[in-house]
Structure 1
C-alpha cells in the first residue's frame, strides 16, 4: 500500500508524456507522420490528450493525500512529485503551442515556463548549499490553478474534436483566457516568494 503514492506520481509522468506526444502527432509535429493522419484520427488524439491531462492532474491531488493518509512519505516521492508537476505543466504548455497560434496564451504561458525553470534552478543552487525551499500553501494552490487553466485552454484549442457548439466558443475562450492569465500572475508571485526565500537562506548559510 505504501508504494501507491509513488505509483500515482509515476503514472502522472507517463500520462504527461502520452499527452504531449498525442498533441504533437495531432498537430503534425512528428516527422514521417505529418499529413498521414485522418481528421478523425487527429480528433481522437486531441480528445485523449485532454483526457490524459485531466487524469494526470487528478493524480497530483491523490498521491500527496494518500502519502499522508498511509504515512508513506518518502525521499523518492518528495523528489518525483515536483518533477511530475513541472513535466505535466510544461508539456501541456508546449503541446498547446504546437496546436497553432495562441496569441492570448503566449505571454502567460511563457511567464509560467520562465518561473518553473527559475525555481528549479533556485532549488538546485540551494541544495548545493544545504538550503531547502519548503513548498508554500500558495504554491500548492498555484499548481491546482495552473492545471485548471490549462485544461480549459486545451478544451478551447481542441473545441472541434469534442463536437461542441462553436457559438459558445467565444464566451468560453474569454473565461479560459482570464483564468489562465490569473494563474500566470499567481505563478509569478510564488516565484518571487521562492526567490526571496532563497536569497535570505543563502545570506544566512
Structure 2
C-alpha cells in the first residue's frame, strides 16, 4: 500500500495536463464558433461547454489528490523522499497549467498578470530547490500551503461559470447579471491575492537561505 501516496501525486501531474488539454479544445471550439451558423454553431457551443466541464473536472480531481496523497502517506506511514520532492512540483504544475487555461479562456490582463507572477515564482522556487544552499531550507511552509489553497479556490471559481452556464455572445441573462459580475470580480481579487502571497513566500525563502 506504500505506493498509493506517490501514485496520487503522479496522477496530479496527469490531471494538470488534462486541464490544459480541455482548455485548449474549448478555446478552439470558441474560435470556430465565431464563424459558424445554424447547427454548426450549436454543436460548437455545446462542445465548448463540454470541454470546459472536462477541464474543471480534471482540475477538481487534481486538487482532491493534493489532500489525499498527504493523508494517505500519514495513514499508511508511507512518506518518502520522492513524495516530499514531487508533491510541491505537482501542485505548481496543476496551478500553472490551469492558469494558462484560464488565460486562454478569459484573455484579459487581469488574468495574464497574476498568472505570470504566480508561474514565474513557481519556476523560480522549483529551480531554487535544486541549489545546494537551499537544501533543508526551502520547504513548503504553512503560508505557502495557504497560498496554494487560495490559488486553487480562485481558479476553480473562475472555471465554474464556463462549465455550467456559459452565456452566448449578446445574451445578458447569466453572464452580465450584477451578482455574476460581483462574484467574478471577487474571484479575480482572490487570484491577485494569491499572486501577492506567491511573491511574499518567495521572498521568505530567499531570506531564509541568506540567513542559513
Give the structure-1-normalised TM-score. Answer: 0.86
Question: Offset at 1:67?
Answer: 0.6
Do the aligned partners of 1:15 and 1:52 also contact (CA within 8 Å) in 2?
A: yes
Aligned to 2:28, the other structure's residue is in SS state coil
Do the aligned partners of 2:52 and 2:162 also contact (CA within 8 Å) in 1?
A: no
Aligned to 1:134, the other structure's residue is in SS state coil
Do the aligned partners of 1:119 and 1:195 also contact (CA within 8 Å) in 2?
A: no
2:174 is the alignment partner of 1:165: yes
Question: Offset at 1:193?
Answer: 0.7
Distance 1:15 1:173 in 2: 25
Partner of 1:113: 119
Q: Which runs of 5+ in 1 are unaligned?
A: none
2:189 is the alignment partner of 1:189: no
Question: Offset at 1:130?
Answer: 6.9
Question: Offset at 1:154?
Answer: 2.1
Question: Offset at 1:92?
Answer: 0.6
Question: Offset at 1:35?
Answer: 3.4
TM alignment of 1:125-144, pairs within 5 A: 125-126=131-132, 129=133, 131-132=135-136, 133-144=138-149
Seen in structure 2, the aligned counterparts of structure 1 residues 43 and 156 have a Cα distance that, compared at 3 Å, is closer
Query: Per-residue displacement from partner, 1:10-61 (whole Å, max 9, x unpaired)?
Result: 11111111111110111129xxxx7397221111011110111111111101
Partner of 1:28: 28
Runs (4+) off by over 3 Å:
34-37, 156-164
Q: Which runs of 5+ in 2 are unaligned?
A: 34-42
Distance 1:148 1:184 in 2: 13
Partner of 1:5: 5
Distance 2:134 2:55 in 1: 39
Give the structure-2-normalised TM-score. Answer: 0.83
- Paired residue total: 195
